[in-house]
Structure 1
Amino acid sequence: MSTPPLRKDAAQNRQRIIEVARRYVDEGRLLQLNDVARTASIGVATVYRHFPTPEALLETVALPAVEALVRRAEHALAGDDAWTALRDFLAAAIEVLLTDPALPPVFAAATDALEHTGDLKRGLASAFAELLARAHTAGVIDPGVTEADMIPLLCGIAYAANIQSALAPAERAALGLRYLDLLLTGLHRT
């Protein structure tokens, strides 16, 4: 069942709410719906009508980056070289985790506020599992390395790059990619 399109004014209000929330997230501010309403000059009830929880708003803010990462995973899956596909997907994941502050809390959440977010996250997990399995089958990665190993390692890379808070997001992403390269060099089998 699809939802009917929003009236023009409702669509504009929704977009304004998302823009303000995006700014809050980028500035590292706490995403409180009442504060977003005030900053957006929109009634609190209107904000709650569009986004019943801060988590739903955060997931909406993160949605373009999550969808872009899904597209990167699909592109990687279409590639013939198992090592390149895995490496490129992991690099895209690290880069987006380090440049979009909306993503880490969305990926770390135990539950999803929006069904679509859960669908996307499950799709990413499935793509990652397939990429890792292909790398194992091709013999290009240590066969003992599992998904359960890789997730904390990737989180560790993101953490290590993020503690360099004086760096701009793009610089932290470059550092994260360097750390990822070091990790993958250790896991790669030729």
Structure 2
Amino acid sequence: MKALPALNELLSGNQRYQTGTSTMSNPVDARPELVQGQSPIACILRCADSRVSPEIVFDQPLGKLFVCGVAGNIPTIEIIESMEYAVGVLGVSLIVVMGHSNCGAVHAALHNEHVDGVFARIALSPLPDMDECVAHNAEQGVSTILNNSLYLASAVQQGTLQLVAGVQDIASGEFELVAQTKLE
């Protein structure tokens, strides 16, 4: 699936999630199909926060999202290598960097709480608002991916891959785009 239809499917699923009209079926029913393999429509880099589940937020069945997670949705080298697998082997054409409101990792980085390891990589700027910092961090995730993977940057240049960044509001469920490469 091309990037724009994949993004539209995610945004439609998010609308269903927000309005309580999700179409998710029982995951047990999906087992026979899942045994045959996966065909994800997108790769999602999410925060490890237990309140953020892309399959639920985007109303997608198991096997449709290739999900990578780490506190603060930081694209580490291991995450980027997983994205390269999703694009190169599974044929994904859309990568989503998914931040969320009330992110504890961003809060910890802002307030110098346990700021070492992955937290030290959270992209902060002199923004006074926590929500702005969360959005900025997601946007910077796109840049970090493109600056650290020649393979993914080349796929974007060739028009076979697009990256977007967005933030999910935990209270409303809404996922809002904050940055994107050109979508086709």
TM-score, normalized by the shorter chain, greater than 0.5: no
Point out the structure with the larger strand share.
Answer: 2
Instruction: Between the two structures, name the one with larger relative contact order (CA 8 Å, sep ≥ 6).
Output: 2
TM tier relative to shorter chain: under 0.3
- TM-score (structure 2 length as normaliser): 0.27
Higher radius of gyration, 1 or 2:
1
Point out the structure with the larger helix share.
Answer: 1
- TM-score (structure 1 length as normaliser): 0.26
